[in-house]
């Protein structure tokens, strides 16, 4: 017996208000009722340059960029069900958590955090997310 497979429409987008992509990718992809974001680094949307080399400032900028991306699709941070955080120095995890808790205030999304050797453009932090419509 053959199984029937439903193919969902895939929609990709890169909002004007977001920093420009620094490679051949889209900022987000929607499939069904899920939105998958590309990793957001602390780029200032006006200059497309990394904000100051401070984990608190960079985490704030990354989460603001994520919020811009979600809002372009009519979502907000409450729709996020999973984040993955990449850091170059896990000793800064406490500072990152303080900022993260300002953006995700309750019903926190599931999360993974890993230390990596390096991130694009010298960023200290990168965050990607999965949101549910």
Domain residue limits, the chain: 31-132
pTM score of the predicted model: 0.93
Q: What is the mean pLDDT of residues 39-63?
A: 97
pLDDT exceeds 60 at position 18: yes
Which candidate, 43, 49, 130, 54, places its Cα nearest to that of 89? 54
Q: How confident is the model over 68-108, as pLDDT tens digits?
A: 999 999 999 999 999 999 999 999 999 999 999 999 988 99
- In 3D space, the residue among 2, 40, 33 whose CA is nearest the CA of residue 18 turns out to be 40
Task: Return the ∠ at Cα 100 (arms to 12 and 33), rounded to 5°.
Answer: 30
Domain with residues 31-132, CATH architecture: 2-Layer Sandwich (3.30)
Instruction: Name which of 102, 110, 68, 103 is nearest 85 in CA terms.
Output: 110
Alpha helices in the chain (DSSP H): 55-71, 93-103
């Amino acid at each position: 017996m053959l199984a029937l497979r439903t193919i969902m429409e895939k929609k990709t987008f890169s909002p004007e208000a977001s920093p420009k992509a620094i490679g051949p990718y889209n900022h987000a992809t929607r499939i069904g009722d899920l939105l998958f974001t590309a990793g957001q680094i602390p780029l200032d949307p006006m200059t497309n340059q990394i904000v100051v080399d401070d984990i608190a400032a960079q985490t704030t900028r990354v989460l603001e960029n994520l919020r811009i991306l979600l809002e372009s699709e009519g979502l907000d941070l409450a729709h996020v069900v999973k984040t993955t955080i990449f850091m170059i120095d896990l000793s800064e995890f406490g500072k990152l958590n303080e900022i993260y808790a300002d953006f995700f205030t309750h019903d926190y999304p599931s999360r993974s955090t890993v230390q990596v050797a390096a991130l694009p453009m010298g960023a200290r932090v990168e965050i990607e997310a999965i949101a549910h419509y």
